[in-house]
Amino acid sequence: MIDALGGEQTYTYDAAGNRTRETDPSGKQTHYAYDADRRLEKITDGAGNETTFHYPDEPGSGQGARHQPVKIEYPTFERLLTYDRRGRVVAQTDRWLEGAQWREQTTRTTYDDRGNQIATEDPAQRTTEFAYDPLGRMITTTDALDHTTTYHYDNRDNLIGLTDANDNTHVFTFDRADRMNTEARPMGETTVYEYDDAGQLFARTDPVGNRAEYDYDDAGRRTEVRHYAAGNLNTPERTVTFSYDERGRLTGYDDGTLSGSYTYDDLGRKTEETVNYPGFSKTHEQSWHANGRQASLTAPDGTEYGFSWDDANRMESVTVPGEGVIAYTDYDWQQPSRVEYPGGTVRTTSYDGLQRHRTIEVVNASDQVLMDYDYTWEDTGNITKKDTEHGTYAYGYDNADRLTEASYPTFSAEEWTYDPLGNRLTDLRTGDEQWQYNDNNELLDSVDKSHEYDENGSLVAEYGPGGRLGRTFEYNAENRMSAVRDENNDLIAEYLYDPFGRRVCKIIYESDGDNPEATWYAYNDQGLMAELDELGNSSDFYLFPPNGLWSTDPILRKSGSSFYYYQVDHLGTPQQLVDGAGSVSHSREMRAFGETQQAGVEDRLRFPGQLYDQVNGFAYNYMRYYSPDVGRYSRRDPIGVRGDLTTFAYVRASPVSYFDEYGLKRSECCGSNEEKVVDTFCAGTVCNTYCDEVIICAYDVAYGAGWCTAGCLGLGFFFWNPFVALGCEALICVPKTAIDFVSCNKEYDRCLRECTEDKCTYCL
């Protein structure tokens, strides 16, 4: 097969028609071997890593059909699978060597007579139970703490109600075409959706009264969006137009303040992006290897960074002009054990069989140990201890994996309790008095501070002791934070966003509207790329891994003419900046929920996807702002209960092991930038499902688009980013909750089309 640029993808088959070799356009090969019964027996990648499949000797053995593997040997662990007589997996055991001892974890699944999954038992022997109505619809889920969520349906299988563990109900209504008409929060605030004759979302009105209207071309592509602020529905606050080429690719946008344009190669890969800011323009370019891996990034300042990949398409090097090469070597399957930086600093990492970090050591050219981490993991996948160069961190959890205690080398210890839904009830730092919430899970009182929200669930004011007014927050017609005022109602900051929700400008004022200082932001597909002054000069440039998660696991930062290399923890959260001479220019200690104490040069990156904002005290997290002192977001989740039933909590109160790079839903990743981890049999490839989440196809009616979590793509598509292709490789549509159940079924056909047979062995 020859592509539009002359790249050749070749396949070799045996006499039985089995594919035995695949060679990509860069000449990198994957080999396949089969047994006498034509069952896949072995896959060997370009680096020689082998995945081997074992099958039952006889059919009817209780181990599943002859084509179902009973053991899969991956390069770092093996998986044992037990089936019932209907071929369903009832037990899955992962085993790996730690030293001379085998360690194993078993997950068990129970089904009813109709084939519904009614219980799962995790490796810590904690059980989650599911119940169904006679039509096979999930009606309750009960977690290991005996907290139950209940789901209600109409006679067309639409989810019309969700009652959470605190007995508060979210209500949904649908039209005769099964399109969501309204979505009401437990206290009654309602969002209304309207559709045109073609079934496309025409308008959305939020509880405050802000309204968005959408226009489409004849191909169903959105061409214009008009955002009206509540109380002024005659004149839009912002109008955004979009343009496309004949192949349906977005070529430009204009919102009246910013405009952008995009160029693609003949394979549809973006090669150039230009953003026109007020007073200046910035362009970045990227080139590609023949097999689709990124070859280079030319930053807005003209600096070109190069990327090379090994025979298994793993990162091999990053070329930094004027500095040298960052070399990734000694891979342990998908993870580099050694990274060497310009100047001789070396990072050495060891992993367990599930590819989770065990140790991290960073040593400079003078053999000085700069960073020294040692992790202890329990069977639940939680980290219980972390030994570091500055002392020991210890963590405790409840049976819902919520963090209940943390001790630190220098900070005072912390303890927390939670209500059934996961809202923080007590915090050791505020004593035994309980925090207060309303039925919408909005935090009203955190003992030393009280909070006020608007009808959209956005924080509008904070009050100190005695009801003293603190900061107030304003929002635009798109419900994005647009301004911050101090206790005197003086304007201290304003924010602007592009049409995709990315914050592109922060304006800081010395006093009420005086002496404004603007910082502009530039992005690429990996996340934050540069901070710019009012003239377009770059103050800081950030480089993140190609194909990585959004603003996660940074590689380097360029400040002026100086380069600093990030040393990150298991999540990809920065812990140090090391310069080319091997000196630590920045170090930090962090509390579990992100409160940070820094030394050396300032660095604003926080948890994956976050950029700290000193003015409002929050961390900007793409779709929302995160408040580390209360461990919650400042506004309701834009995707509602699809992200978390509280719609406010950060990563379900488990920030040591998980993160949320988009500010929507926790990404359950066992390590930084892991494209392939430990779940989902996909043509022999172990794909990243972020450890314990099922792969879900979801759909958001507010944006008229679907997305898939996990599969080989990590996060396949999000509605606000048109540059990430909609796709599900290795789609498994097995929902954890009823809201995912409904979304999954409604969008299954669409996602299934993306789950091509040559990339996925099965789609459930």
Q: Is 60 part of any domain?
A: yes
For the segment 527-542, the average pLDDT, to the nearest whole number, is 97
DSSP string, 345-384: -EEEEEE-TTS-EEEEEEE-TT--EEEEEEEEE-TTS-EE
pLDDT recorded at residue 334: 94
The 3-state DSSP class for residue 556 equals strand
The 10s digit of each residue's pLDDT in 135-186 is 999 999 999 999 999 999 999 999 999 999 999 999 999 999 999 999 999 9
CATH code, domain carrying 83: 2.40.128
The last residue of a domain, from among 73, 90, 111: 111
pLDDT value of residue 63: 57
Same structural domain for residues 367 and 442?
yes
Q: What whole-number percentage of the chain has pLDDT above 90?
A: 82
Buried b (16+ CB within 10 A) or exposed e, 365-403: eeeeebbebebebeebbbbeebbbeeeebebebeebbbb
684-737: per-residue pLDDT in tens?
Answer: 222 222 222 223 333 333 333 333 333 222 222 222 222 222 222 223 333 334
Residue where one domain finishes, among candidates 111, 126, 157: 111
Task: Print the domain residue range for 584.
Answer: 237-653
In a domain, 486, yes or no: yes
The pLDDT of residue 677? 30
What is the mean predicted confidence (pLDDT) over 520-525? 98
Task: Report yes or no on 369 lying in a domain.
Answer: yes
How far is the C-alpha of 676 from the C-alpha of 150, rounded, in Å? 34
Same domain, 331 and 430: yes
> In this structure, are residues 306 and 295 in contact, taking their beta carbons and an 8 Å threshold?
yes
Is residue 600 located within the same domain as residue 696?
no
Domain co-membership, 643 together with 680: no
Query: Would you place residue 745 in the very low, low, confident or very high pLDDT band (cuts 50, 70, 90)?
Result: very low
| 426 and 506 assigned to the same domain | yes
pLDDT of 512 reads: 67
CA distance 243 to 215: 12
Which residue bears the tokens 């506004």? 635
The first and second tokens of residue 444, run together, are 């009203």
The whole-number pLDDT of residue 571 equals: 96
Residues 685 and 647 in one domain: no
Sign of CA dihedral 682, 686, 692, 697: negative
The answer to whether position 606 is within a domain reads yes
Q: Residue 521: inside a domain, yes or no?
A: yes
Least Cα distance to 258 among 521, 621, 516 occurs for 521
Number of domains in the chain: 3
Let me know whether 691 and 635 are in one domain: no
Residue 720 has a pLDDT of 24
Q: Which of 111, 131, 156 is the last residue of a domain?
A: 111
**Cβ atoms within 10 Å, residue 163:** 17
- Tell me, yes or no, whether 464 and 518 share the same domain: yes
Question: Strand pairing partners for 12?
Answer: 21
Q: How confident is the model at residue 739 (pLDDT cuts 50, 70, 90)?
A: very low
- Give a yes or no: residue 206 inside a domain: no
Average of per-residue pLDDT across 84-92:
93
CA angle (665 as vertex; 656, 618 as ends), nearest 5: 70
Instruction: Report which of 521, 567, 546, 561 is spatially closest to residue 321, judged by C-alpha positions.
Output: 561
Does a structural domain hold residue 667? no
In the beta sheet, which residues pair with residue 181?
none
Listed in sequence order, the residues at least 6 apart from 614 whose beta carbon sits closer than 8 Å to its beta carbon are none
Mean pLDDT of 389-410: 98
What's the pTM? 0.88
Q: Are residues 729 and 609 in the same domain?
A: no
Report pLDDT digits (tens) over 423-475. Answer: 999 999 999 999 999 999 999 999 999 999 999 999 999 999 989 999 999 99
User: Is the backbone of residue 194 left (phi > 0), alpha (psi -120 to 50) or beta?
Assistant: beta
Name the nearest CA neighbour of 503 among 518, 492, 489, 514. Answer: 518
In a domain, 174, yes or no: no
Q: Are residues 724 and 603 in the same domain?
A: no
457: amino acid identity, one letter: G
Per-residue pLDDT for 682 more than 70?
A: no
pLDDT above 90 for 592: yes
Same domain, 731 and 609: no
Identify whether residues 596 and 714 lie together within a single domain: no
The pLDDT tens digits of the residues spanning 595-625 come to 999 999 999 999 999 999 999 999 999 999 9
- Nearest-angstrom CA–CA distance, 415 and 113: 44
